[in-house]
Amino acid sequence: MELEKFIQTLILIHAGFGGIALVSGLFALIAKKGSTIHKKSGIVFFYTMLASAIVALLISFLPNHHSPFLFSIGIFSIYFLLIGYRSLRFKRRNVGSKNEKIISLAMVFVVVGMIVIPLITNGVLNIVLTVFGLTGLIFALRNIKLYQNPEKLQKNWLKLHLGNMIGGYIAAVTAFVVVNEFFPSFYGWFIPGIIGGTFIAYWIRKLNKGNTPKILTN
């Protein structure tokens, strides 16, 4: 009984941080990139979403609350947030990417385990873990490849930042949509990703055309 009260407290903490992250992340998305509002709301989003994700991981391992979905969201959020936040370093020249490589390699091992372990232990693929695992594997391998080219990394730091931070926000929205059952069946798992992916593509196209906000290059 005491354990269940503790778990319910954790769930409230997770939801509280997640709610703040949703609001602050929205402000960061719609604010002018590089503005004071964008930077401050982005920092709030980073720390509250990171806290929410860590608590979610803990909950997903506790008795009677095992949740592959919650685990996947936690892993995704932490990875995207760390890479997105740390990518700000690469706008400067000659910045090492050793820690980012370690984070991305760790992500590769985790997502491969997400796919393989259920297959070994239960003899079947877990759809949630497999879909999230394959997506995470693609992002992690792509980032590792980028780290091998410091010049290209310095040139594309903004794409790395926006893509991964928006990815973290997509994870937050996905969790909110699925938990509250806004869409029937499995659609809630993919609709936020489709919308968020379109938003990422929009920004990447702007950056490829040279429409980089001047304030972000300072």
Tokens 């997506």: give the residue: 135
List phi, psi (to 5°) of 32.
-60, 125
What distances in angstroms separate CA 13 from CA 9, 82, 150, one per listed residue? 6, 21, 39
User: How many distinct structural domains can be found in the chain?
Assistant: 1
pLDDT, tens digit (0-9, with 9 covering 90-100), for 165-211: 888 888 888 877 777 777 766 667 777 777 777 777 777 777 777 65
Q: Which amino acid is at 122?
A: N
Contact 114, 132 (CB under 8 A): yes
Residue range(s) defining the domain that contains residue 135: 2-217
Please give the distance of CA 146 from its chain centroid, rounded to a whole number.
18
What distances in angstroms separate CA 42 from CA 7, 125, 156, 195, one per listed residue? 29, 36, 19, 20
The number of CA neighbours under 13 Å toward the Cβ of 89 is 15
pLDDT, tens digit (0-9, with 9 covering 90-100), for 100-148: 999 999 999 988 988 888 888 888 887 777 877 888 888 889 889 988 8
